[in-house]
């Protein structure tokens, strides 16, 4: 795309910039994580040379994220990941600073794709070399329509559950071509943004749209993951009786332990006054369900895409339709009853409200910045795959926000630390040790076939299989010189299941030393007859 063909920005109304700037300045005080990253990395400019194309809700909070990225040296261009989620004053304020923004509330589907494509090439004609995505649309467009750009992209970071599922499908199919960081599953994102953010923003969106009194109503929440948990809690605290629809028995049991009813959508549909889908799955509320709902049932979605609710059925089969106000539509169905659909089946908290509060988004966006720094600063370190942010960085994000709220963390004494530890000190981001202590790990003899031992690395427990010399085992041992085959594949197995990860001999494997890679660090120890000594390399 030639520079003279490119608009410097496209927003709804650039005159809204002054209003947006006031809100950005107010939000900065509520986003301590991003402000701490500016202070820590601003002088070094670790993102210098990066050209980041971002596709994430263009809100006031996102404006603070964008200005953090630019403060750290990045060139940035932006589009929104939802046609209804842009806050026009935020888009105008960022555009006025010279950052190309292509986003406005109420885009058509065609305009939405056009906006994303404007972020792929910068004003000098240079293509993007980093992706910051929310939901996977930017990632998919680059892979499917602009594959020639992939070679120059160092990596991408993905914000939400739906986008991570998309990455995993791409990786499994061999279609993912760049390293990707899964920001969504950082603890300070999924357990805060998804849960506490939705707990506040769901009710805000519903009330702005309908002025409904929640107390005394029956709320039906489809999905009891982190997002669903936040939604159910929000309805409950506002006085609703809540029914949860769930396919996972563990999540269903969690819901019941919180005092919620658990039922199928078929059974709950005639009871509900307010329906919220939070599954990421398609066809959760179907046309048949709509026809059985009570008069003026309110139906909304808080999952990323609009496939959870069959809005197309309602539009096609409705006897009449009235648009009450933007993103609030009332349909008369053949059943003779009305239903109210919010945000056209898209994200209700952003379509009908302003989304999550600034503080909780500071947690999520701090992880995004750290992921971008890690990928940009370490070219070649990561192969094509989907990676998690190291726990030590997750904890750093949490620590900043604890302090911002006036909290003070306790510190273990040496005796407490030794008592608490089940293995050697937690790995740090650079693989160094927090302390030089070592710990012997007792092993359990399993019919003289192998030994197993439980260890803890970076806060997670693993059960590791150690060879004792049997010919069918895969880990090298001092007791089995003939078993030292460096080509034998080895894995560890997380307690409770999970994805295998590499386990292999260290360069001096003749010394019977075990190395377990974990995140950005490694745990290393000698394999002996009855126990294992582990330390952090």
Residues tagged active-site:
57, 80, 85, 134, 159, 184, 189, 193-194, 198, 304, 356, 364, 368
Q: CA-to-CA distance for 442 and 528, rounded, in angstroms?
A: 11
Q: Are 320 and 330 in contact (CB under 8 A)?
A: no
Take residue 254 and report the two structure tokens written for it: 């969690």
Take residue 151 and report the two structure tokens written for it: 């070679």
Q: CA-to-CA distance for 305 and 283, rounded, in angstroms?
A: 12
Take residue 503 and report the two structure tokens written for it: 């386990």
Question: Tokens 């299941």 correspond to what residue?
Answer: 497
Distance of CA 383 to the CA centre of its chain: 20
Centre a 10 Å sphere on the Cβ of residue 169 and count the other Cβ atoms it contains.
Answer: 12
Q: CA-to-CA distance for 129 and 85, rounded, in angstroms?
A: 26
Alpha-helix runs per DSSP H in 238-357: 249-257, 265-268, 287-292, 311-317, 348-351
Q: Are 327 and 284 in contact (CB under 8 A)?
A: no
DSSP-assigned states of every residue in 256-276: HHTT-EE--HHHHTTT-SEEE
Q: CA-to-CA distance for 157 and 131, rounded, in angstroms?
A: 6
Distance of CA 415 to the CA centre of its chain: 37
Residues 6+ apart with CB under 8 A from 310: 283, 285, 286, 287, 290
Alpha-helix runs per DSSP H in 136-248: 137-145, 161-173, 187-190, 198-210, 226-237
Q: Which of these, 89, 155, 77, 152, lies nearest to 115 by C-alpha position?
A: 77
Distance of CA 462 to the CA centre of its chain: 24
3-state secondary structure of 88: helix
Q: CA-to-CA distance for 53 and 332, rounded, in angstroms?
A: 42
Q: CA-to-CA distance for 368 and 140, rounded, in angstroms?
A: 19
Q: Are 479 and 470 in contact (CB under 8 A)?
A: no
The neighbouring-strand residues paired with 517 are 522
Q: Are 186 and 193 in contact (CB under 8 A)?
A: no
3-state secondary structure of 303: coil
Distance of CA 194 to the CA centre of its chain: 8
């Amino acid at each position: 795309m030639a520079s003279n063909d490119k608009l410097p920005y496209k927003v709804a109304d650039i005159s809204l910039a002054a209003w947006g700037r006031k809100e950005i300045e107010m939000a900065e005080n509520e986003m301590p994580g991003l402000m701490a990253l500016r202070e820590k990395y601003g002088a070094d400019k670790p993102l210098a040379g990066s050209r980041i194309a971002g596709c994430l809700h263009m809100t006031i909070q996102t404006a603070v994220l964008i200005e953090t990225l630019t403060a750290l040296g990045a060139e940035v261009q932006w589009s929104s990941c939802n046609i209804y989620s842009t806050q026009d004053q935020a888009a105008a304020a960022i555009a006025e600073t010279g950052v190309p923004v292509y986003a406005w509330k109420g885009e058509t589907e065609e305009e939405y794709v056009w906006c994303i494509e404007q972020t792929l090439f910068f004003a000098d004609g240079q293509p993007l070399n980093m992706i910051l995505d929310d939901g996977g649309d930017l990632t998919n467009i680059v892979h499917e329509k602009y594959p020639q750009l992939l070679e120059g992209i160092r990596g991408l970071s993905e914000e939400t559950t739906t986008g991570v599922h998309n990455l995993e499908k791409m990786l499994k199919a061999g279609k993912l071509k760049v390293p990707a960081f899964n920001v969504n599953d950082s603890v300070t994102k999924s357990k805060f943004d998804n849960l506490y953010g939705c707990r506040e923003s769901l009710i805000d969106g519903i009330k702005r749209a309908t002025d409904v009194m929640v107390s005394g109503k029956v709320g039906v929440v489809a999905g009891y993951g982190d997002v669903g948990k936040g939604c159910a809690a929000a309805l409950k605290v506002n006085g609703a009786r809540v029914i949860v629809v769930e396919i996972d028995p563990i999540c269903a049991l969690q819901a019941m332990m919180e005092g919620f009813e658990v039922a199928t959508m078929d059974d709950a549909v005639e009871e509900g006054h307010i329906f919220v889908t939070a599954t990421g799955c398609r066809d959760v509320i179907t046309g048949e369900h709509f026809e059985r709902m009570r008069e003026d049932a309110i139906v909304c979605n808080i999952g990323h895409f609009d496939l959870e609710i069959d809005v197309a059925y309602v539009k096609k089969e409705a006897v009449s339709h009235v648009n009450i106000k933007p993103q609030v539509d009332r349909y008369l169905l053949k059943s003779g009853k009305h239903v109210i659909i919010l945000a056209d089946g898209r994200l209700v908290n952003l379509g009908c409200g302003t989304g999550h509060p600034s503080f909780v988004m500071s947690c999520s966006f701090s992880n995004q910045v750290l992921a971008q720094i890690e990928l940009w600063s370490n070219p070649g370190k990561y192969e094509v795959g989907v990676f998690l942010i190291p726990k030590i960085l997750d904890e750093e994000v949490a620590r900043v926000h604890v302090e911002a709220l006036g909290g003070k963390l306790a510190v273990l004494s040496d005796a407490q630390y030794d008592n608490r530890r089940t293995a050697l000190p937690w790995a740090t981001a650079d693989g160094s040790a927090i302390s030089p202590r070592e710990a012997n790990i007792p092993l359990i003899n399993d019919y003289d076939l192998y030994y197993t031992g439980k260890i803890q690395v970076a806060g997670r427990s693993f059960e590791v299989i150690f060879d004792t010399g049997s010919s069918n085992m895969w880990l090298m041992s001092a007791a089995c010189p003939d078993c030292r085959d460096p080509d034998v594949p080895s894995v560890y197995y997380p307690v409770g299941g999970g994805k295998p990860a590499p386990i292999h001999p260290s360069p001096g494997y003749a010394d019977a030393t075990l190395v377990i890679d974990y995140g950005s660090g490694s745990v290393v120890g000698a394999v002996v007859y009855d126990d294992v000594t582990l330390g952090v390399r």
